[in-house]
Amino acid sequence: MSRWTKAVAILAGLVALALVACMGGPVKVGAVLPLTGPYALYGVPIKKGIDLAYEEIQKSDDRVQLELEVRDSGSNPDRSAELLEELYKGGAVAAIGGVTTEAALKMVPVAERADKVLLSPSASSPALTGISRDFFRIYPSDFREGNKMGNFAADTLGIDRMVILASESAYASGISDVFQTQYRRYGGEVVDVIEYPAEGADIAALVDRALEARPVGIYIADYAPNVSKIIKELRSRDFEGKILTTSAYASSEVIAEAGADAEGVLLPQTAVPADDPTRNAFLKAYKEKYGEEPNVWAAHGYDSMKVLAEAIAEGGHLPSDVWKGMRGIHGFLGATGVIQFDEKGDVGKFPRTYVIENGQLVDYEKAVDDKRQEILRRIEELNRSRARSAAGGSGSEGN
């Protein structure tokens, strides 16, 4: 055997030993989240959900042992991509990240170069659908959300004149385009589309222009911080029309801070039946750990960690095995509902419309149906009362 052949054999052996050692120990996974900065309102609850799931996996899932490393992007998309590359180079076989659409768009090329899975808990732009074989997401595409709200505004609410306010961001652009197309399809008229900088916009001037068009409703496509500012300005002007926005506003902290200004605002959100056992187990565990109710972002963080662990447990420890494991996810029961990825990495979840009442998100369609049933019950009681009165009167006349 030549010296070169021996060297190759030794190197191959070392590689094999390294792989065996790696596969026998904890599997490293990463997460890049905005834990500080303007989008921490999403990143912090997502991390809480991830931490809870990680804790449960380490305690009760004998199929896999994980090592989790979390990095803070500071709400900076470019920094998100840099941190993801560091995690992959540091041995992470897959990562959770891309909390916002802008961050996800920066991170996907890094995942492609590394050929490793990137699982987003919350990025939702239609532009991300099928963007890479390595990209998956727990949250449904804005294509469904935008269609739902466009239809709802025109058909259910009967709003015939709308102004759209949309920030100059990939997220807002994607969902507002879908909303506008669907709203017009159902006969609504968009009297103005007002785009504004994602940071430093003159909110008062935006609202001035919107109100000049005399709309019956206003649709706001943006992340929660700007949405709150615009809603507050509209309320200060005594705007009496309907205010619709996106699921990005579905944060209990944001709604609580907005107070009375948030009352009556309409927005979409995916829904899980109240008696769903997985959902209720998550709610109980989260409240026990953190002493508070989880929001929708915490639930999606929890599911992202659970799904990634399932993919590793069923697929294997190597990056290519994790990808196969993700493709093999079928009918996974999560806190956010049943999870299954299509060929483009999207999930098949459908949003419902909610209205904010007394600081809480209330299912609009259910609330309307409940009120309708209450009215019917009262009418029925009134009819019975009248019938009894008529029968009593007839009896008196007969005597």
Cα 147–80–219 angle (5° rounding)? 25
Domain-located, residue 391: no
Asked if residue 52 lies in contact with residue 89, where contact means CB atoms within 8 angstroms, the answer is: no
Asked if residue 54 lies in contact with residue 305, where contact means CB atoms within 8 angstroms, the answer is: yes
123 and 246 fall within a common domain? no
Mean pLDDT of all residues in 380-398: 66
359 and 222 fall within a common domain? yes
Mean pLDDT of all residues in 352-360: 94
Domain-located, residue 378: no
Closest CA to 102 of 132, 133, 130, 124: 124
Give, as one character, the DSSP assignment of residue 240. -
For residue 398, what pLDDT band results from cuts at 50, 70 and 90?
very low
Domain-located, residue 298: yes
Mean pLDDT of all residues in 294-304: 96
pLDDT digits (tens, 9 = 90+) for 333-342: 999 999 999 9
Domain-located, residue 343: no
Domain-located, residue 280: yes
Q: How far apart are CA 225 and CA 205, in angstroms?
A: 17
Asked if residue 351 lies in contact with residue 359, where contact means CB atoms within 8 angstroms, the answer is: no
Mean pLDDT (the chain) is 90
For residue 370, what pLDDT band results from cuts at 50, 70 and 90?
low
Domain-located, residue 380: no
Closest CA to 54 of 303, 333, 300, 335: 303
26 and 132 fall within a common domain? yes
Beta carbons within 8 Å of 125's beta carbon, 6+ residues apart? 101, 104, 105, 141, 142, 170, 171, 174, 175
Closest CA to 96 of 375, 385, 326, 275: 326
Domain-located, residue 313: yes
Residue 99 belongs to what domain range?
3-139+274-335
Would you state the structure tokens that stand for residue 304, as one six-digit string? 């992202």
Beta carbons within 8 Å of 336's beta carbon, 6+ residues apart? 138, 270, 272, 279, 296, 299, 300, 303, 349
How many CB atoms within 10 Å of residue 79?
Answer: 18
109 and 239 fall within a common domain? no
55: Cα separation from own chain's centroid:
22
Torsion of CA 320, 80, 308, 246, to 10 degrees: -130
pLDDT at 16: 37
pLDDT at 389: 73
Alpha helix segments (H runs only) across 161-243:
170-185, 203-212, 224-236
For residue 384, what pLDDT band results from cuts at 50, 70 and 90?
confident
- Within 112-265, strands assigned E span 117-120, 135-137, 161-167, 189-196, 217-221, 242-245
Residue type, 252: S
Domain-located, residue 399: no
* pLDDT above 90 for 378: no
* pLDDT above 90 for 368: no
pLDDT at 302: 98
For residue 393, what pLDDT band results from cuts at 50, 70 and 90?
low
Mean pLDDT of all residues in 166-195: 97
pLDDT at 7: 45
358 and 291 fall within a common domain? no
248 and 327 fall within a common domain? no
Q: How far apart are CA 358 and CA 251, in angstroms?
A: 14
Q: How far apart are CA 93 and CA 68, in angstroms?
A: 11
> Number of folded domains in the chain?
2
The DSSP result for 265-329, as a single string, is -EEEEE---TT-HHHHHHHHHHHHHHSS---HHHHHHHHHHHHHHHHHHHH-SSHHHHHHHHHT-
By percentage, how much of the chain surpasses pLDDT 90? 81
* pLDDT above 50 for 304: yes
* pLDDT above 50 for 11: no
285 and 255 fall within a common domain? no
Give, as one character, the DSSP assignment of residue 26. P
* pLDDT above 90 for 241: yes
180 and 304 fall within a common domain? no
23 and 113 fall within a common domain? yes
pLDDT at 294: 94
For residue 251, what pLDDT band results from cuts at 50, 70 and 90?
confident
Asked if residue 43 lies in contact with residue 34, where contact means CB atoms within 8 angstroms, the answer is: yes
pLDDT at 383: 73
- Of the listed ranges 33-37, 152-156, 243-247, 366-370, the least confidently predicted one is 366-370
259 and 309 fall within a common domain? no
* pLDDT above 80 for 262: yes
Torsion of CA 309, 315, 317, 320, to 10 degrees: -120
358 and 219 fall within a common domain? yes
For residue 278, what pLDDT band results from cuts at 50, 70 and 90?
very high
9 and 129 fall within a common domain? yes
pTM: 0.85
Mean pLDDT of all residues in 136-158: 96
**CATH number of the domain that 259 lies in?**
3.40.50.2300
For residue 399, what pLDDT band results from cuts at 50, 70 and 90?
very low
More confident position, 207 or 1: 207
Q: How far apart are CA 116 and CA 334, in angstroms?
A: 23
pLDDT at 374: 67
